[in-house]
Structure 1
Amino acid sequence: MSTTAITGARVFDGEKPLGVTTVVIEGGRIVQVGGEAPAGAEVVDGSGATLLPGLIDAHVHTDRDSLALALKFGVTTELEMQGVHTRDRRGAISEDDSVADVRSSGFALTPPGGHPSELFPEGFDPGRPVGGGQGGGQGGGHRGAPPYRPDATGPEAAAASVPQLIAHGSDYIKFMIDDGSVEGHPGLPMLDQDTLNAGVAAAKKLGVLSVAHVLTIDAARMAVQAGIDGLVHLFVEPPTDEIITMIKDAGMFVVPCTVLNASMMGITGSELADDPRVSSRLDTDWDTTLRSCFGHYPQGKLQDVLDSVKALVDAGVDLLVGTDASLPMPFLGGLAHGASVHQELQHLVQAGLTPAAALRAATATTARRFRLSDRGRIAEGLRADLLLVDGDPTTTITDSLNTRSVWRRGTRLAS
């Protein structure tokens, strides 16, 4: 069993900077933090760099190629918010250290004809993983039985679907609360409060985390009233004291996905794509997608979203980094796996978080809120999912893109 010692780097352990120290990994785990490098260890010189836990994207729709792209940017885990990578369908990915690890909600509860059906063009192949704000994710190259699709036609159906989702390998349960207004399709069928309440209660009874897709304050209010554990989007309107207080008092977490809201408002990812640290890792399709946008809500203002982020963090609400990255297609544009995590970090700092707080939102906080007890921090006994970057992103957040090395379960990603 080989031993690797990363020496001389600043270490951010997922909660706070530890200063310059040594981190030793062996057998896919972190076995030592601090002290001297063991005799015979392969030494990786981290001088001038910062060692971070592998980053976690708390909102994606993904496939194997996307997981490979994410890992190139130091994102070692992606949390799928609708898709097929449930426990019974991801064995090969879990054992493949050339791609990011993944957890999944399976399919979300939404009424027939409800969101995200309005997003996709006529003739779009539903067998491919899809998402974008929004939800999709139906293929990914899996064979055998199709993924379980829940029934959200009423309270009894929703409550009965939750244990079925869990039995089919969902790691958490997602609910779509969306009437299509932000996407330019007002009047879509939407979960009513009773159906939502019943589904969330079923998840709580089984001890399973519940999350909600919301893009409006009204939808967020419904989620709070139902007892949802977390919001995996942030509303596009200016924040109100009432909704911020409701979220805080409910103990909820929020995955703002500000990069998605920016795309909805017509802001492309072109500036990010122009960064050579990004462009060098993107193929033509992803470059084109990142330079595109959803553009469904041009009347929106990104500053309103940033103001909501600041109000939430000031209230003590846990924020998690997520992007809603999906497929390399322009109509799902403005986002790219891995790369957009770093832009989200920049948005959080722009909103008023310290760089260290933003990094916590992509590591320890996400691991804690999604009950991923084996990752998200640099501590003895945890998975050796690590990111080494030149510079110090705890003071200059854009340094997070200065990738020097990535490890997934102690295996160093080939550059």
Structure 2
Amino acid sequence: MITAITNVRVFDGDVGHAPTTVLIDGSTILAVGAPAPSGAAIVDGTGATLLPGLIDAHVHTSEAGLALALKFGVTTELEMQGVHTRNDRAHISGDDTLADVRSSGFGLTPPGGHPSELFPKGFDRRGAGGPPRPRVDPIVVPHVTTPEEAVAYIPKLVAAGSDYIKFMVDDGSVEGHPGLPMLDQATLNAGVAEAHRHGRLTLAHALTLDATRMALDAGIDGLTHLFMDRPHTPEIVERIAESGAFVVACVTLNASMMGITGAELADDPRVGSRLDERWTETLRSSFGHYPQGKIEDVLASVKALSDAGVDVLVGTDVSMPLPFLGGLAHGASVHHELHYLVRAGLTPRQALRAATALTARRFGLDDRGRIAPGLRADLLLVEGDPTTTIGDTLNIRAVWRRGVRAAL
């Protein structure tokens, strides 16, 4: 049966449209602006705005995390360390009670390098709601210390179904572990070049300005964090812009590193009502490893990069419901990130584009991120108009994943 969402404002991922009708036929968008046919199931969108399903461009997830994300209108999560590669997600791709997922598999890092310092010795991540063991073709964590080892690992990640390749460029200084083993420039250069030879998008975890420069020197396609150890300079903004790399800002993560919790978000009944006790406790906590950081510097860097034409994407770095990984929650933190981008000086439409069409384009997800005929019916219906008031994204009326309306 065709579903007709009538009298609804539309933000199509790029621009807004006056109230109209959007038709869903099965898993796809049939039409925008056509009248509702006889017999269609009518959803009255009066006073509401229809958005593409939101995309979180930096997560570490599980089936429980994907289910929670969907309740907040996040219909796709992009995993930046985990097991949900092409070879191990058929059960997720076909399950419309979960957000869809893409994955890097595991990022290249030296033995003892990031993210090993985040977890207590012997900690069982699966017991804390972490990623399950892969069902097929398990990926060995790619510990590398030489260019030759990096080159040798890339085909293994490609064969295991990694959608893109991630490199950890981190000396531990932001996480309170200075001197952490990290990839050197030659190893990073070789790995990025090999990933490009295999046609894979390359991404770098870089929390400092120096690590960002290393990633740019290697020819990285995207940065999964925004540096937070010092203010931006005209030089680094120009370098990122000239490189063509995008930046997944993860302001929510940077704030959490500085000890800023998500308590205000958890207090919002539109959020708190959707979280269980573990996630509420986690959201009210923070990483707290870098209290000397300044959120104002991060926000200024976001604005400078956006003004320079850099594609700034929405991501959160959310993972598991553990207070020491706090300040974040699946789905909810995407709305928090939108708030931070607007606080930085982006317009609400720019922020929404960063969570929809822009991310879809940069990650080659051509079937989503926009509202247009023939695309996936991944949709979010909210009361109000978030193109003028960004907080309205949390006024969630309905969510569809492949045309199936989610239980909220």
TM-score (norm 2): 0.98
- Structure 2 equivalent of residue 122 of structure 1: 121
| Cα separation, 1, equivalents of 2:350 and 2:317 | 21
Residue of structure 2 aligned with 1:361, choices 344, 349, 354: 354
Matching of residues 139-158 of structure 1 within 5 Å:
139-140=131-132, 142-143=134-135, 146-158=138-150
Alpha carbons of structure 1 residues 252 and 128: separation in structure 2 relative to 1, 3 Å: farther
Write the distance in 1 (CA, Å) between the matches of 2:84 and 2:253: 22
Are 1:405 and 1:412, in contact at CA under 8 Å, matched by a contact in 2?
yes
Q: Equivalent of 1:204, from 196, 209, 212?
A: 196
Name structure 2 gaps, 5 residues minimum: none
Aligned: 1:183 with 2:175: yes
- Whether contact under 8 Å (2:128, 2:321) holds in the other structure is no
| Other structure's SS at 2:68 match | helix
Counterpart CA distance in 2 for 1:205 and 1:288 is 44
Please say if residues 128 and 322 of structure 2, whose CA atoms lie closer than 8 Å, have aligned partners that are also in contact. no
> In structure 1, what is the Cα distance between the partners aligned to 2:281 and 2:223?
29
- Larger CA deviation: 118-127 vs 182-191: 118-127
Question: 1:69 Cα shift?
Answer: 0.3
Q: Please list every run of 5 or more consecutive structure 1 residues that lacks an aligned counterpart in the other structure.
A: 131-136
Cα-to-partner distance string for 1:287-342 (whole Å, 9 max, x where unaligned): 00000000000000100000000000010000110000100000100000000000
User: Which residue number corresponds to residue 334 of structure 1?
Assistant: 327
5 Å matches for 1:61-100?
Answer: 61-100=60-99
Partners of 2:235 and 2:137 lie apart in 1 by: 45
Residues 7 and 47 in structure 1, CA contact (< 8 A), matched pair in contact too: yes
Q: C-alpha displacement at 1:152, in angstroms?
A: 1.6
Q: Which moves more between the two structures, 171-180 or 236-245?
A: 236-245
Contact 1:83–1:129 at 8 Å: present in 2 too? no
Q: Is the 8 A contact 2:138 2:160 kept in 1?
A: no
Distance 2:367 2:122 in 1: 42
Identity level (%): 70
Distance of 1:398 and 1:126 partners within structure 2? 33
CA RMSD of aligned residues (A): 1.2
Judge conservation of contact 1:215–1:233 (CA < 8 Å) in 2: yes
Of 224, 228, 233 in structure 2, the residue corresponding to residue 232 of structure 1 is: 224
Deviates more, 1:155-164 or 1:280-289: 155-164
Is structure 2 residue 314 aligned with structure 1 residue 299?
no
**Amino acid corresponding to residue 53 of structure 2 in structure 1:** G
After superposition, what is the alpha-carbon deviation per residue over 1:332-368, rounded to whole angstroms, capped at 9, x for unaligned?
Answer: 0000000000000000000000000000000000000
Give how far 1:80 is off. 0.2
- Paired AA for residue 52 in structure 1: L
Give the secondary-structure state (helix, strand or coil) at the position aligned to 1:197. Answer: helix
Structure-to-structure mapping, 1:276-355, within 5 angstroms = 276-355=269-348
Contact preservation (8 Å) 2:87, 2:136: no
Q: TM-score, normalized by length of structure 1?
A: 0.96
* Aligned mate of 2:389, from 380, 396, 411: 396
- 2:215 aligned to which of 223, 233, 244: 223
One-letter amino acid matched to 1:182: V
Letter in 2 for 1:272: L
Name the residue aligned to 1:371: 364
The AA in structure 2 aligned to 1:147 is: I
How far 1:140 moved relative to its partner? 2.0
Decide whether the 8 Å contact of 1:265 with 1:301 is kept in 2: yes
Structure 2: distance between partners of 1:129 and 1:54: 28
Aligned residue pairs, count: 407
Mapped to 1, the partners of 2:45 and 2:406 lie a distance apart of 16
Asked if structure 1 preserves the Cα contact closer than 8 Å seen for 2:207 and 2:227, the reply is yes
Question: Aligned equivalents of 1:329 and 1:318: distance in 2?
Answer: 31
Q: Measure, in 1, the Cα distance between the counterparts of 2:268 and 2:118.
A: 29
Q: Distance in 2 between matches of 1:110 and 1:141?
A: 20
CA contact under 8 A between 1:233 and 1:256: conserved in structure 2? Answer: yes
Letter in 2 for 1:312: L
* 2:33 is equivalent to residue 34 of structure 1: yes
Moved more, 382-391 or 236-245: 236-245
Question: Partners of 1:374 and 1:303 in 2: how far apart?
Answer: 36
Deviation at 1:126, TM superposition (A): 4.5
Query: Contact 1:128 / 1:140 at 8 angstroms: preserved in 2?
Result: no
